[in-house]
Structure 1
Amino acid sequence: MHAPLLLGCDFSSSPTKRKPVVMALGTQRSGRVVLSKLEKFATLQAFGEWLAQPGEWTGAFDFPFGLPRELVEQLQWPLDWHECMLHYASLSRPQIRDTFAAFCNARPVGSKFAHRACDHLAGSSPSMKWVNPPVAYMLHAGVPLLLDAGVHLPGLRQGDETRVALEAYPGLLARELIGNRSYKNDDKAKQTPERLIARKDLITALEHGQTRLKLRLKLTHAQRDMLVDDASGDCLDAVLCLMQAAWGAGQGGPRFGLPARADPLEGWILSA
């Protein structure tokens, strides 16, 4: 019997050859997650075409699957998740930026952004944030690809149950293992020895299974060197998402580890 395919995705809303979408593929057996390979996509179209292929997998994706209910209600957008996402996808990025900026400008200092229920638990940025990091644009680029591919989105939208897509956040698992130490940076000038050591410590902790997910990462020497040497952290983030996918797959359907209280408009971050 073959082990089901797992995937973890480090996403970019504007991928390029230099900064592609990175996908870690692997399998799980007896609590060991084996990394088989990394796939890279320089365009959203190429990534979408991969997702739309027939297959059998459980994947964890590093972009938000929903907007804060408070925001959606105030903007009087549809309260049904699918209708809300179709409306959101119809907007341009400048329209999103201007709409969200107006929302924030009308609110008091210290509570400019609306948050989802899972954001506080996961320590993630609000999904309406359009800069540093631009997760609002990641949602805008990513969710339509999942909808077009017809994948199953537990708690949000019924789809092809052989391809299960779950929202992940690599920072949640990284913080559990190395605290608030920074392990990556896209800026070459900020790719310091301290961040290199943090990546090594993070990978070692994953290999030893030092997480509440109770899973151990299995790497070859070459894979380990590659993850250590990738100072951007994109490949390592994809692997962190792969670990979260393995945990979700282990929890099984219909919710794959998502709590019953998860808001069907906002979505939920896996293992938060």
Structure 2
Amino acid sequence: METQLLLGCDFSSAPTKRKPIVIARGALDGNAVRLVQLHDFATLDAWSAWLAEAPTWVGGFDFPFGLPRELLVHLDWPLDWASSMAHYAGMSRAEIRATFAAFCAARPDGGKFAHRATDAPAGSSPSMKWVNPPVAYMLHAGVPRLLAAGACMPAHGLAAEAFANRVALEAYPGLLARELIGRRSYKADDLARQTPERRSARADVIDALCGAGSDRLGIRLALEASQRISLLEDAQGDRLDAVLCLLQAAWASSQPGWGLPVGVDPLEGWIVSA
């Protein structure tokens, strides 16, 4: 495969200077990924413009690219991915919240949300969740902008030759972090919860990535000392999450079919490396 720019993205549907979207840019060298640079974006427009200007990339993005088939069938929304995303993009956040809340209210306790097939193996939140975390809003903000940047999305059947230079993959940093340190918490937005224990957990994630790396993915991280400090001291974990997504994208870039399992539902998509 021709050498491409590798990206990992920690995303926010409402970025600010204090809580920006973070992109980790890297390069694959054998079984190691070298972190080249971290980029912060305080607005959605700045983020999407940067993606559209970069001539070629493979990126892992920490937000869902699709909704559960069960949900779409129940709502009688389009059942092809492009049409379902166009319909979704045309809704307001208030409409999304009201629609999804009504769906959940009619379902029994313990089964309020519909799930995608990828949620169980990835350990991810349902993509229709609008709070804690608001991944439904992240999908709403992110997918249309990826499409506008000319990205192809292999898990959803979008791999037109004209767009092959920009490949967007759904990533999830928690999947890789759990493989390295179990369920220890390594980040917090709330200042009161930014504890020495979480800092120690970040250090263990970084040390594991730079040491043996991920056994399952067969890939490790190469950092400069200043970069390690930057990842360690970011108590919100956004920079480390971007780097974890970068490693997932790097792994996928070296796999046949982007590492996606056979028979992926193109309506729902898949979290890479799950």
TM-score bracket, shorter-length normalisation: over 0.9
Q: 1:115: which partner in 2?
A: 115
Q: Structure 1 stretches (4+) deviating beyond 2 angstroms?
A: 1-4
Q: 1:183: which partner in 2?
A: 186
Find the residue that maps to 1:256 and give its secondary structure.
helix
CA deviation after TM superposition for structure 1 residue 269, in Å: 0.2
Contact 1:5 1:57 in 2 (8 A): yes
Contact 1:176 1:211 in 2 (8 A): no
CA deviation after TM superposition for structure 1 residue 210, in Å: 3.7
Q: Select 2:250's aligned residue among 236, 246, 249.
A: 246
Q: 2:81: which partner in 1?
A: 81
Cα separation, 1, equivalents of 2:174 and 2:252:
17
TM-score by length of 1: 0.97
1:57 aligns with 2:61: no
Q: 2:20: which partner in 1?
A: 20
CA deviation after TM superposition for structure 1 residue 33, in Å: 0.3
1:193 aligns with 2:163: no
Q: 1:271: which partner in 2?
A: 273
Find the residue that maps to 2:236 and give its secondary structure.
coil
Q: 1:220: which partner in 2?
A: 224
Q: Which amino acid aligns with 1:242?
A: L
Q: Select 2:208's aligned residue among 183, 205, 208.
A: 205
Cα separation, 2, equivalents of 1:30 and 1:150:
28
**Where does structure 1 lack aligned partners over 5 or more consecutive residues?**
none
Root-mean-square deviation (CA, aligned residues, Å) is 1.2
Mapping of residues 226-237 of structure 1, within 5 Å: 226-237=230-241
CA deviation after TM superposition for structure 1 residue 206, in Å: 0.5
Q: Which amino acid aligns with 1:91?
A: M
CA deviation after TM superposition for structure 1 residue 150, in Å: 1.4
Find the residue that maps to 1:27 and give its secondary structure.
strand
Contact 1:3 1:29 in 2 (8 A): no
Contact 1:177 1:211 in 2 (8 A): no
**Where does structure 2 lack aligned partners over 5 or more consecutive residues?**
none
Segment of structure 1 superposing worse, 104-113 or 148-157: 148-157
CA deviation after TM superposition for structure 1 residue 104, in Å: 0.3
CA deviation after TM superposition for structure 1 residue 55, in Å: 1.1
TM-score by length of 2: 0.96
Q: Which amino acid aligns with 1:101?
A: A
Q: Which amino acid aligns with 2:264?
A: A
Contact 2:27 2:33 in 1 (8 A): yes
1:261 aligns with 2:266: no
Mapping of residues 25-104 of structure 1, within 5 Å: 25-104=25-104
